[in-house]
Every structure is written in structure tokens, then in C-alpha cells.
Amino acid sequence: MKNFSLSLSLSISYGTGYSAASKEITDYENNGFDTIGIITGTPSDYVITSHFNYNYQIIPFRNRLNDNVNQFIEIKDSIKENENVIVAPYSLITNILKGGETVSIVPKTKLYEK
């Protein structure tokens, strides 16, 4: 017979990353090139990239709220390697077993024998 105790913690978070400045791109046009660097050497070369002009629209409030929901669930336990865990229906664990009680370890095949 062994004494078992298990510590379990649960953290839940629900929030929003809402921003009043939320916009989405509706259209864009390529407006030439921008020089973003120079490669030194003989001869030197330029590093260029496309330059875009963007058209935006403000995202409606309801869409911003729905698109920015943050959800987080974390479950931590204190079970260490080579420790045993009681496996039983939830009602048995919560209503019948109390912390620090002595239990018997049996093979799974004999789990429901009296």
C-alpha cells in the first residue's frame, strides 16, 4: 500500500488584442523601385526592391473584435517520473477519494473486481 497525492493547477485566460487602428489592404499598385542598399566592390551594385502604394479600409468593429480574441489554457501537474497516478471515473476521484488516503495498486485486468 502506498500513499498518493496529486497536485494539479489550471490557468485559463480569455481576452482581446483589439486595436482601433485596424485596417486591411483593399488594393495596391507597384510604383517603381526603391534603393535599399549598395554592394561594395568594383563595380558597386545597388540593392533594389519594388515600391508599392497601398489603399486601406478600416475594419468594422465587429470583425476586429472577433478576429482578435486571445484564448489560453494551461494545465500543470506535479507528477514526477516513475510516480503512479490514480485512474478512475471523475465522480469516484472527486466524491469518494480524499487526499492522502491509502490505495492498492492492481493490474488493469483486475481493476473492477471486488
The grid coordinates of residue 29 equal 499598385
State if pTM tops 0.75: no
Q: What is the pLDDT of residues 2-56, one digit of tens each?
A: 555 566 777 777 776 666 677 889 999 999 999 989 988 888 888 999 999 999 9
Residue 113: the pLDDT is 73
**Backbone dihedral region of 111: left (phi > 0), alpha (psi from -120 to 50 degrees) or beta?**
alpha
DSSP labels for 12-61?
EEEEE---TT-EEEEEEEEEEEEEEEEE-SSS-EEEEEEEEEEEEEEPPH
Q: What is the pLDDT of residues 49-86, one digit of tens each?
A: 999 999 999 887 777 766 666 676 776 677 777 777 66
Residue 60: the pLDDT is 79
